[in-house]
C-alpha cells in the first residue's frame, strides 16, 4: 500500500475508533462549570447548574439533624452520557468521599447509600459539600461558608439593647461545639466597641439551644458558648465585672422546635442588659 494511502487509512481508522466516544459525549449546560474542589465522574455531563454569591443550604449532619451553612453557593447536577457506563449511587458517593479525604477534608455524614456530607477548610474558607446520587446521575451542592457583610454597628447594638433590653447576636459555632468561628470576629469586635463606649452598661451573655439531643448536654453546651463569648469580650479589654455568662439550654425556645426553621431560631446567643 502506498505511504499516502496508508496514512489516509490510518487516520480513517483512528476517527472510526473515536466516533463512538464522540457520539456518546453530550455537552454541558450552557454557562455551567465544575467546582474546583471535585473532578466529575467519568463520562458525565452537566444538565443543571446554579451559582449564587450568597445563599443558604441545610446539610445533613446526622440521621435527623442538619446544619444551615451560608455563603457562596454552587449546585451542579450531572448525568451519564448516552451509551456510557452508569455508575451506582454508592460508587459515586464513595468516589467523592475518597476525594475529600485525599485533600485533607472530612466526611460529616454518610447514609451508607446515596448521600454524603463533607467539609474542608481551604484557603481560609470552610467549604461544605453534599453529594446526592442515583444510578447514573448525581447532584453536588457546595457552599463556601462566609458571613454576610456585617452592617451592624456598635451604635445599632446599643440602641437595640436600650430599647428592648436584649439583642440576639449572630455568633457562629460548629455543631455541638463552643469555639467561636472566625467569621464572627467582626461582630464580637462591634459588641466590645459598644461596651467600651458605654462604660456604665453591664450585660449578661445568654446561650440557648434547640431541643435536639440530651437536655443536660444542651444546657452544658449553651453555658460553654455563653462563656466563650464572655471570654472573647474580656480579651478585647472589657472588665469581667461588667459581664456574666448564663446557659439556658432548651428551656427558653422562641420558635417551634418541630421545624428546622424554628430550631435554627432557638439556637442563639443573646445580650441582655443587667
Whether residues 134 and 158 share a domain: the answer is no
User: Could you tell me the CA-to-CA distances from 54 to 60, 69, 73, 145, 232 in Å, in that order?
Assistant: 20, 10, 6, 9, 27
Per-residue pLDDT, 15: 44
The pLDDT value recorded for residue 3 is: 52
Global pTM value: 0.53
Pair (135, 32) in one structural domain: yes
pLDDT for 260 beyond 80:
no
Using only C-alpha atoms, what is the Rg of the chain?
A: 26
- C-alpha 214/C-alpha 81 separation (Å) is 48
Residue 123 backbone class (left: φ over 0; alpha: ψ -120 to 50; beta: rest): left
Measured in degrees and rounded to the nearest 5, phi and psi for residue 98 equal: -65, -40
Give strand ranges (E) for 123-235: 125-134, 137-145, 166-169, 203-208
CA distance 265 to 257: 9
Phi-psi category of 16—alpha, beta or left, where left has phi over 0 and alpha has psi -120 to 50?
alpha
The dihedral region occupied by 266, where left means phi > 0, alpha psi between -120 and 50, and beta the remainder, is: alpha
Q: Measured in whole angstroms, how far is the alpha carbon of residue 143 from the centre of its chain?
A: 5
Give me the pLDDT at residue 23, please: 45
Q: What share of the chain is helix, strand, coil (3-state, %, to 5)?
A: 35, 35, 35
Looking at residue 64, its pLDDT comes to 86
Closest CA to 269 of 177, 192, 171: 171
- In a shared domain, residues 103 and 131: yes
What span, in angstroms and rounded, lies between the C-alpha atoms of 232 and 226?
A: 10
- Residues 131 and 173 occupy one common structural domain: no
* 120, 158: one domain: no
Task: Report the distance separating Cα 153 and Cα 165, nearest Å.
Answer: 17
Whether residue 239 sits in one domain with residue 185:
yes
Chain-centroid distance, C-alpha 160 = 29
The three-state secondary structure class of 151 is coil
> Are residues 95 and 51 located together in one domain of the fold?
yes
Of the pLDDT bands very low, low, confident and very high (cuts 50, 70, 90), residue 227 is very high
Instruction: Give the per-residue pLDDT at 24.
Output: 55
- Do 254 and 177 belong to one domain? yes
In a domain, 18, yes or no: no
pLDDT, residue 19, reads 47
* Count of domains observed in the chain: 2
- pLDDT, mean of residues 208-223: 94
Give me the domain span that covers residue 58.
25-145
Among 106, 126, 145, where does a domain finish?
Answer: 145
* 75: enclosing H helix or E strand: strand 65-80
83 and 118 together in one domain = yes
Mean per-residue pLDDT of the chain: 88
How many CA atoms, within 13 angstroms, populate the side-chain half-sphere of residue 118? 27
Q: What percent of the chain has pLDDT over 70?
A: 89
- Beta bridge partners, 79, equal 45, 137
**Nearest-5° angle of CA 13, CA 17, CA 18?**
120
Rounded CA gap, 97 and 108, in Å? 10
Regarding whether 201 and 98 lie in a shared domain, the answer is no
- At residue 147, the pLDDT reads 52
Considering the domain architecture, whether residues 46 and 105 belong to the same structural domain is answered as yes
Average pLDDT over residues 59-80: 93
- With CA atoms as reference, report the closest residue to 227 among 240, 214, 211: 240
What's the pLDDT at 49? 97
pLDDT at 181 over 90: no
Instruction: Indicate whether 214 belongs to any domain.
Output: yes
d(CA 35, CA 99): 13
Last residue of a domain, one of 91, 118, 145: 145
Residue 4 lies in a domain: no
Clarify whether residues 125 and 159 are in a common domain: no
pLDDT value at 16 more than 80: no
pLDDT at 73 over 70: yes
What would the pLDDT profile of 123-158 be if each residue is shown by its tens digit?
Answer: 768 899 999 999 999 999 999 987 544 557 899 999
Amino acid at each position: 500500500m502506498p505511504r499516502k494511502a496508508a496514512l489516509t487509512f490510518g487516520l480513517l481508522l483512528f476517527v472510526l475508533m473515536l466516533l463512538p466516544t464522540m457520539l456518546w459525549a453530550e455537552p454541558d449546560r450552557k454557562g455551567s462549570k465544575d467546582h474546583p474542589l471535585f473532578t466529575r465522574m467519568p463520562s458525565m455531563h452537566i444538565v443543571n447548574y446554579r451559582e449564587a454569591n450568597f445563599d443558604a443550604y441545610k446539610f445533613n449532619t446526622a440521621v435527623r439533624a442538619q446544619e444551615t451553612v451560608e455563603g457562596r453557593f454552587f449546585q451542579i447536577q450531572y448525568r451519564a452520557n448516552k451509551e456510557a457506563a452508569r455508575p451506582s449511587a454508592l460508587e459515586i458517593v464513595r468516589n467523592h468521599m475518597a476525594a475529600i479525604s485525599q485533600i485533607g477534608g472530612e466526611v460529616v455524614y454518610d447514609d451508607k447509600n446515596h448521600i454524603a456530607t463533607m467539609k474542608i477548610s481551604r484557603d481560609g474558607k470552610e467549604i461544605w459539600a453534599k453529594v446526592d446520587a442515583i444510578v447514573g446521575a448525581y447532584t453536588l451542592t457546595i457552599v463556601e461558608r462566609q458571613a454576610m457583610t456585617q452592617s451592624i454597628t456598635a451604635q445599632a447594638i446599643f440602641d437595640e439593647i436600650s430599647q428592648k433590653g436584649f439583642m440576639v447576636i449572630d455568633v457562629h459555632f460548629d455543631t455541638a461545639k463552643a469555639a467561636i468561628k472566625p467569621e464572627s470576629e467582626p461582630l464580637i469586635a462591634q459588641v466590645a466597641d459598644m461596651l467600651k463606649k458605654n462604660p456604665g452598661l453591664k450585660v449578661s451573655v445568654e446561650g440557648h439551644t434547640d431541643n435536639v439531643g440530651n437536655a443536660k448536654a444542651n444546657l452544658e453546651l449553651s453555658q460553654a458558648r455563653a462563656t466563650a463569648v464572655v471570654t472573647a469580650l474580656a480579651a478585647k479589654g472589657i472588665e469581667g465585672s461588667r459581664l456574666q455568662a448564663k446557659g439556658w439550654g432548651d428551656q427558653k425556645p422562641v420558635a417551634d422546635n418541630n421545624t428546622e426553621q424554628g430550631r435554627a431560631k432557638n439556637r442563639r446567643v443573646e445580650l441582655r442588659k443587667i
